[in-house]
């Protein structure tokens, strides 16, 4: 294990503990000497990590501290690059620009070696079939409205056409928006059906964001949907 990887692991260990953990316990978990541990703690503190404590008492990472981009592992950098590029290709214009901006901000503060890894990632996003708009005809403005309604827990009123061509007016409680290669799907509680339903955005004939908010929280609604679908909650 390189020293950079060891510093990252030390930070991750400290993040797991809410109360001070002894230097002996930390050095044992990392497989290093106490002297090496003290040097690593000092290095992280000099880099801005808010680690409180001292030898003989124990160490704790102060609440609210976020790992600096310097501490991203190679796998984390690859995940960030791949995820951001996927969003930049698949989402609406505003969200795509946000993904590009976020990637640029991360790249700007990474050390040179890590920045090269980010910019030269060998993980690529395949091109979408621009000639096939099936399932992906929602406008940028509609997707933006849907995302905002999910965030603010506003009810949506849809004029919706199902797979048979039958139209209906639905008032829904949106809790998630799924982005697939050729589909955008709203996960929502449907007041008409009194149950969860999935609405393809390409079948929405019209959309209205209401001022009314639905009861409870979006997180609770999404959790209920996951249970119904037999999907494990994200850790």
pLDDT tens-digit readout, 144-181: 899 999 999 999 999 999 999 999 999 999 999 988 87
- Those residues whose C-beta lies under 8 Å from the C-beta of residue 65, and which sit 6 or more positions away, are 49, 50
Looking only at the bridges linking them, the beta strands covering 58-61 and 204-213 are: unpaired
Q: What is the pLDDT of residues 124-143, one digit of tens each?
A: 676 655 444 444 556 788 98
Structural contact between residues 136 and 191, judged by C-beta atoms closer than 8 angstroms: no
- Those residues whose C-beta lies under 8 Å from the C-beta of residue 77, and which sit 6 or more positions away, are 110, 114, 117, 118, 121
CA distance 158 to 176: 16
Is the overall model pTM greater than 0.75, yes or no?
Answer: no
What's the maximum distance between 2 C-alpha atoms anywhere in the chain?
Answer: 73
The domains of the chain, with CATH numbers, are: 3-66 (1.10.10.10), 72-119 (no CATH), 140-229 (2.30.30)
């Amino acid at each position: 294990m390189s020293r950079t990887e060891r510093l990252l692991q030390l930070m991750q260990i400290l993040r797991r503990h809410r109360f001070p953990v002894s230097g002996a316990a930390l050095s044992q978990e990392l497989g290093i000497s106490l002297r090496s541990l003290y040097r690593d703690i000092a290095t992280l503190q000099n880099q801005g990590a808010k680690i409180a404590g001292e030898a003989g008492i124990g160490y704790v990472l102060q609440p609210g501290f976020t790992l600096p981009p310097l501490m991203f592992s190679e796998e984390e950098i690859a995940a960030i690059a791949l995820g951001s590029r996927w969003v930049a290709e698949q989402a609406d214009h505003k969200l795509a620009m946000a993904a590009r901006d976020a990637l640029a901000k991360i790249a700007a503060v990474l050390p040179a070696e890590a920045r090269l890894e980010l910019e030269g990632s060998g993980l690529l996003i395949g091109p979408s079939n621009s000639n096939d708009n099936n399932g992906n005809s929602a406008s940028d403005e509609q997707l933006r409205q849907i995302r905002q309604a999910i965030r603010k827990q506003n009810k949506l009123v849809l004029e919706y056409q199902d797979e048979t061509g039958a139209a209906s007016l639905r008032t829904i409680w949106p809790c998630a928006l799924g982005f697939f290669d050729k589909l955008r799907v709203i996960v929502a509680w449907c007041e008409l059906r009194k149950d969860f339903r999935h609405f393809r955005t390409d079948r929405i004939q019209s959309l209205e964001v209401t001022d009314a908010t639905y009861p409870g929280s979006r997180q609770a609604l999404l959790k209920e949907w996951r249970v119904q679908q037999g999907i494990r909650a994200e850790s």
